[in-house]
């Protein structure tokens, strides 16, 4: 048993507040940026692919904007549309929380596609790199969710349960940590084993990311409380499950298209 007593604020200077959640984004992007360049160097050295690393540096700006816009709009549309349609000015208050992973994913795909057209680079190649480094940011993000005592798990009797005093005194699954392990550590391992293989094919990591993340997220949702303002759709499906199902479906469709393309 563990009683949660972590402070979401790391440092408070009065005029400046540094939160763990903000640092999760910063470290996720910086470490992902560094590791992404290592992956690109490996691919360039072991294949005939030509790629300018400076283009990847330029892509980061697109990704940061895409994550913020996509994540925020995704939360507004998927999770709290009624509230924000009545108070549209609240949409810009990103600092008050409210980001959607699935919205950020859509934003990243759109931003990467626009960038790839501009630079005349394979969209799937860039998405493969992003897929391989994204679990780093996801891991930090889920740890930050745990520190913030948000996205809490369902009540349980397991010995490793956690009590979140700011929520209630009930023993709950540390579902944020389950997701950190599945969507962070395990997903990172799977994707990087694939991309560092000699027979790596462009696009493989993109669709495997969609499928594996979708499966891991749906599994994790069984241990996580649904969003209060939405609850369960059809009495048993959370919004996270529904969106993740479409991720899996998209991944399967992309895999079929890529396999047919390689056979031609």
* Interval 167-183: pLDDT, tens: 999 999 999 999 999 99
Q: Find the radius of gyration of the CA atoms of the chain.
A: 19
Torsion sign across C-alpha atoms 188, 194, 197, 201:
negative
The token pair at 46 is 């072991």
Please give the pLDDT value at position 92: 85
Average pLDDT, integer, range 243-261: 94
Which phi and psi angles does 64 have, rounded to 5°? Answer: -60, -45
Please count the other Cβ atoms lying within 10 Å of the Cβ belonging to residue 92: 9
Kindly indicate the confidence band of residue 52, based on its pLDDT and cuts at 50, 70 and 90: confident
The token pair at 76 is 């507004």
Q: What percentage of residues in the chain have a pLDDT greater than 70?
A: 98
Average pLDDT, integer, range 142-152: 94
> In sequence order, which ranges of the chain are alpha helices (DSSP H)?
20-46, 53-79, 81-86, 101-119, 123-147, 175-179, 187-195, 204-221, 239-263
Average pLDDT, integer, range 123-127: 95
Indicate if the pLDDT at residue 157 is higher than 90: yes
* Interval 75-110: pLDDT, tens: 999 998 888 999 888 888 777 778 899 999 999 999
Residue 207 to residues 13, 113, 130, 194, 210, Cα–Cα distance (Å): 44, 15, 12, 12, 5
Indicate if the pLDDT at residue 219 is higher than 90: yes
Q: Angle formed by the axes of helices 204-221 and 239-263, to 10°?
A: 160
Average pLDDT, integer, range 186-200: 93
Number of domains in the chain: 1
Please give the pLDDT value at position 97: 73
Domain ranges, residue 181: 2-263
Residue 215 to residues 212, 259, 260, Cα–Cα distance (Å): 5, 21, 24
Q: Are 30 and 86 in contact (CB under 8 A)?
A: no
Q: Angle formed by the axes of helices 101-119 and 53-79, to 10°?
A: 140
* Interval 14-34: pLDDT, tens: 888 888 988 999 999 999 999
Please give the pLDDT value at position 17: 86
Q: What is the DSSP letter of 154?
A: P
Please give the pLDDT value at position 216: 98
Indicate if the pLDDT at residue 261 is higher than 90: no
Average pLDDT, the chain: 93
The token pair at 147 is 């520190």
* Interval 102-118: pLDDT, tens: 999 999 999 999 999 99
Of 138, 185, 133, 145, nearest to 20 by C-alpha is: 145
Q: Is 2 exposed, middle or buried (0-12, 13-18, 19+ CB in 10 A)?
A: exposed
Please give the pLDDT value at position 264: 44
Please give the pLDDT value at position 210: 98
The token pair at 63 is 């990704």
Indicate if the pLDDT at residue 151 is higher than 60: yes
Please give the pLDDT value at position 50: 85
């Amino acid at each position: 048993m563990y009683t949660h007593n972590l402070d979401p604020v790391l440092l408070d200077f009065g005029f400046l507040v540094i939160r763990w959640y903000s640092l999760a984004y910063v470290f996720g992007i910086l470490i992902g940026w560094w590791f992404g360049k290592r992956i690109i160097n490996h691919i360039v050295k072991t294949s005939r692919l030509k790629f300018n690393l400076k283009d990847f540096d330029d892509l980061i700006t697109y990704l940061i904007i895409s994550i913020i816009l996509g994540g925020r709009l995704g939360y507004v549309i998927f999770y709290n549309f009624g509230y924000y349609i009545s108070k549209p000015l609240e949409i810009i208050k990103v600092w008050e929380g409210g980001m959607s992973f699935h919205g950020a994913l859509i934003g990243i795909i759109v931003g990467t596609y626009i960038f790839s057209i501009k630079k005349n680079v394979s969209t799937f190649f860039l998405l493969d790199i992003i897929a391989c480094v994204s679990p780093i940011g996801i891991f930090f993000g889920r740890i930050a969710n745990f520190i913030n005592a948000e996205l809490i798990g369902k009540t349980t009797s397991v010995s490793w349960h956690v009590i979140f005093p700011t929520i209630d005194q009930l023993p709950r699954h540390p579902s944020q940590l389950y997701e950190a392990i599945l969507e962070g550590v395990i997903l990172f391992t799977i994707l990087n084993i694939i991309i560092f293989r000699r027979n790596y094919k462009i696009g493989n990591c993109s669709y495997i990311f969609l499928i594996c993340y979708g499966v891991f997220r749906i599994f994790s949702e069984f241990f996580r409380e649904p969003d209060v303002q939405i609850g369960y759709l059809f009495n048993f499906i959370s919004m996270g499950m529904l969106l993740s199902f479409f991720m899996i479906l998209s991944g399967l469709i992309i895999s079929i298209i890529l396999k047919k393309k390689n056979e031609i």
